[in-house]
Amino acid sequence: MDVNAVIVMLVVCAYGLWLAVAVFNNISDFQTNRALIARMVSMDDIKSDPVMGNNLQWRAMDGRRWSLFIFLPVVFYQVLTVAQFAVAGASVVVDLWTTGSISHSLVTQINIAFLLALMLWFTFLIGGLWFGYWIKMPQVQSAHLMLAMLTLFCITLVNILLPAT
């Protein structure tokens, strides 16, 4: 069995499992996530600061009203991304079990899963940037940046270990 393929299997399955737990947490702790989105889009923390973010405040939205409309599509997209990881992860296990390697078409499927995740993190970063979350919620921006970097690392690792033939 190819060691590189086993490493890729572990990375795909671990990332997919981590994301599945994150989605489960988002669904089961719905109100916390909705409150965080409401806090970001309402920009109340920025509005209460007499100096920082004054010229961004026109972007604020009714957080209570809009948080649900923002959060539901995010969870739906996350579920689709987890499904892609589940299919890719299961396919990797089957390929390794039956052939000892990972097919090129499966590498494409893996890349799609990671690109879906990367698009999610960049959407969070762009949306957060629009609402100035780096000013009063820097820990959230840091988490999104780290997730984007981790995902880029995973894409790079997969494509170095399993180059197109």
Amino acid at 101: S
In this predicted structure, what is the pLDDT of residue 165? 58
What is the pLDDT averaged over residues 6-12?
Answer: 96
Residue 24 vs residue 51, higher pLDDT: 24
- Helices and strands per DSSP (H, E), number in the chain: 7, 0
Q: What is the pLDDT of residues 25-49, one digit of tens each?
A: 999 999 999 999 999 999 999 999 8
Distances (CA, A) of 69 to 38, 73, 80, 142, 151: 11, 7, 18, 24, 26
Which position has the token pair 């994301």? Answer: 19
**Within a 10 A sphere around the Cβ of 123, how many other Cβ atoms?**
14
For 98, the enclosing helix (H) or strand (E) is: helix 63-99
Asked if pLDDT for residue 97 goes beyond 90, the answer is: yes
Side-chain-side CA neighbours of residue 49 (13 Å):
14
For residues 13 and 17, give the distance between their C-alpha atoms in angstroms, rounded to a whole number: 6
Residues 6 or more apart in contact with residue 42 via CB below 8 angstroms: 60, 61, 62, 63, 64
The pTM is what?
0.92
pLDDT for 164 equals: 67
- pLDDT above 90: residue 12: yes
Which range is least confidently modeled, 1-5, 61-65, 90-94, 119-123? 1-5
At 1, the pLDDT band (50, 70, 90 cuts) reads confident
